[in-house]
Amino acid sequence: MSAYLLQRLLLTIPILLGIVILTFFMVHLTPGDAVSAMQGQMKMSAQQMEQLRQALGLNDPLHVQLGRYLMKLIQGDLGRSLFGGQPVALLIASNIGATIQLTVAAMVVAIVIGMPLGVLAAIKRGTLCDAVSVIVAMIGVSIPSFWLGLMMIQLFAVTLGWLPITENRSARGLIMPAAALGLAEAAIIVRLTRATMVEILNADYVRTARAKGLLDHIVLWRHALRNGLLPLITMIGMQFGTLLGGAVVIENVFARQGLGTLVTQAVINRDFPVVQGCVLVAATMYVLVNLLVDILYVVIDPRIRYS
């Protein structure tokens, strides 16, 4: 197991390197640069703009800029923001906590709603309850999270006044963003849980457990659901990346401070080091979550062994 984990950790190096290089060239394909964005905020002559570009190294060829960035990255330096000169690592550290909080809360919403509804739909297969669950899941997948967030703001904040629109440091302020982000993922979990449980409930070992006289809830939770957790955990691990991406939109909808608003402002300002740093951190989190998923496989099913 330890050898497998070491191998997986070593494999993350070329993956993250590829992400860094791809992100670097993608952000440099956007028209304009940070100096052009600064021109919109302060008046500078053409000569001053050129001098600033030279000082920031923006006139160097792309391969030279990439090499310089990679050398700093090897030393653990994510660079400095082109706006203000703050260390990128410090900017990310001050914003990542709110994004992780939102992502985890949205994942909890998705699991708490999605898994019970999926199990219920499988148990009541072919009934009205099953049909309603499937319809709700289809609606949930179809509704964009930003539109759902706006509707929640209109209903629960503006009309009813139950919840605050922008409040970063309280549980009440997290309810609407987490729900808007997590409900679409809950719909996906409902569909997968239902499909998995329908197959497992018809398996021979489940029928054998029932024939032995075990209570239905023991057969369901101890035998059926535990064997159905592997595909669900795989999906949850994959959805973590989707939630991180969705947090960029939701944080802007609810004006929450986090990596989403940080990277949005960085894209507007053509602040390439901040964009690259945020993407690298998000990619690292996604890779580590998928590694955790592999470890959970062994915990849930002892028959799985990694050599």
* Residues 25-61: tens digit of each pLDDT: 888 777 766 776 676 666 777 777 777 778 777 778 8
Q: Is residue 226 part of a domain?
A: yes
Q: Is 212 exposed, middle or buried (0-12, 13-18, 19+ CB in 10 A)?
A: exposed
Beta-bridge partner residues of 80: 87
* Number of domains comprising the chain: 1
Q: How many residues does the chain have?
A: 307
Q: Is 171 exposed, middle or buried (0-12, 13-18, 19+ CB in 10 A)?
A: exposed
Token digits for 63? 């391969």
Q: Is residue 238 part of a domain?
A: yes
* Under 8 Å between Cβ of 65 and 57: yes
Domain membership of residue 246 as a residue range: 89-300
CATH number of the domain to which 174 belongs: 1.10.3720.10
Q: Is residue 42 part of a domain?
A: no
Q: Is 48 exposed, middle or buried (0-12, 13-18, 19+ CB in 10 A)?
A: middle
Q: Is residue 47 part of a domain?
A: no
* pLDDT digit string, tens, across residues 50-59: 777 787 777 7
* pLDDT digit string, tens, across residues 137-158: 888 888 888 899 999 999 998 8
Give the pLDDT of residue 177.
Answer: 92
Q: Is residue 241 part of a domain?
A: yes
CA end-to-end distance (rounded Å), the chain: 6
Q: Is residue 2 part of a domain?
A: no
Give the pLDDT of residue 47.
Answer: 76
Whether pTM exceeds 0.75: yes
Q: Is residue 135 part of a domain?
A: yes
Q: If we measure between CA atoms, which residue out of 119, 111, 131 comes closest to residue 195?
A: 119
Phi, psi dihedral angles at 52 (to 5 degrees): -70, -40
Give the largest Cα separation in the chain, rounded: 86
* pLDDT digit string, tens, across residues 199-248: 888 877 777 777 877 777 777 777 777 777 778 888 888 888 888 888 88
Q: Is residue 196 part of a domain?
A: yes
d(CA 271, CA 269): 5
